[in-house]
């Protein structure tokens, strides 16, 4: 990767955002079309589960996700969690956020743990957008779930691409960090699937600390900064 070059996390997030912008009422078809356009561009970085879904896809995303789950024996990766944030940014009612978060996840990840994680994540994002404190927002949404232990102590799992492990580390990092830079650096230094853990944690940190809280050397080095800026402004203008 070149300095400032983005990975599949960012590119698939853009697919979700641009699909919503094209058809906010029924975005899945538009999102799916952008997924395939990105796939056919021969990206450097693509997750194993998502690659299999793209190979299985004919005309039904949910069928392709189910077949992939059967082929691989499981589909509980973090590939839908890493890209779901635009849903919380684009919609203002919780019903739409929860429904689209879940359905967009099921396009590539049949495992219910992935779909649940996307819903919890975007519910936290919803609270942060309403100016709640990070700790309060996380506590409200993970209490009573399998992620509750992650906010009280260091996760006893590898920082892997398994969605449960990923999300445990994301929540822990957000709970113990004091600014955006610390969130990203803690994620990067974990090893394992650090780019995706950083992307997921960084999404919520970006809402909480704001654009001004992101160091200039981070922002200015991104090669597709102009495209990201344009989509972000459009998403915010179209909040429904």
Q: Report pLDDT digits (tens) over 171-212.
A: 999 999 999 999 999 999 999 999 999 999 999 999 999 999
Quick one: angle between helices 28-40 and 8-22, nearest 10? 140
Q: Report pLDDT digits (tens) over 150-167.
A: 788 899 999 999 999 999
Q: Report pLDDT digits (tens) over 55-66.
A: 999 999 999 999
Q: Look at the pTM and tell me if it is higher than 0.85.
A: yes
Fold (CATH) for 8-237:
ADP-ribosylglycohydrolase fold (1.10.4080)
Q: Cβ of 130: how many Cβ atoms within 10 Å? A: 9
Q: Report pLDDT digits (tens) over 25-50.
A: 999 999 999 999 999 999 988 999 99
- The 3-state DSSP class for residue 58 equals coil
Q: What is the dihedral of CA 19, 49, 117, 164, to 10 degrees?
A: -160
- The 3-state DSSP class for residue 162 equals strand
**6 pLDDT more than 80:** yes
Cβ proximity of 6 and 221 under 8 Å: no
Domain map (residue ranges) of the chain: 8-237
Q: In angstroms, what CA-CA distances link 221 with 3, 107, 218?
A: 7, 32, 6
């Amino acid at each position: 990767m070149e300095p400032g070059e983005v990975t599949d996390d960012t590119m698939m997030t853009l697919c979700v955002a641009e699909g919503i912008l094209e058809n906010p009422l029924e975005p899945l078809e538009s999102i799916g079309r952008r997924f395939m356009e990105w796939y056919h561009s021969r990206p450097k970085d693509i997750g194993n589960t998502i690659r299999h879904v793209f190979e299985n896809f004919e005309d039904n995303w949910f069928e392709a996700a189910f077949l992939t789950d059967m082929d691989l024996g499981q589909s509980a990766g973090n590939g839908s969690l890493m890209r779901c944030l635009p849903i919380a940014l684009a919609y203002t009612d919780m019903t739409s956020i929860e429904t689209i978060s879940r359905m967009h996840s099921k396009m590539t990840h049949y495992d219910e743990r992935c779909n649940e994680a996307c819903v919890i994540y975007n519910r936290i994002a919803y609270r942060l957008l309403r100016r709640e404190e990070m700790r309060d927002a996380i506590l409200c949404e993970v209490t009573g779930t399998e992620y509750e232990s992650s906010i009280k102590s260091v996760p006893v799992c590898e920082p892997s691409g398994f969605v449960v492990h990923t999300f445990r580390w994301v929540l822990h990092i957000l709970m113990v960090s004091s600014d955006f830079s610390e969130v990203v650096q803690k994620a990067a230094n974990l090893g394992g699937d650090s780019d995706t853990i950083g992307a997921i944690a960084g999404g919520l940190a970006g809402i909480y600390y704001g654009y001004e809280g992101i160091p200039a050397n981070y922002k200015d080095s991104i090669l597709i900064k102009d495209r990201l800026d344009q989509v972000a402004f459009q998403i915010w203008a179209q909040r429904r």
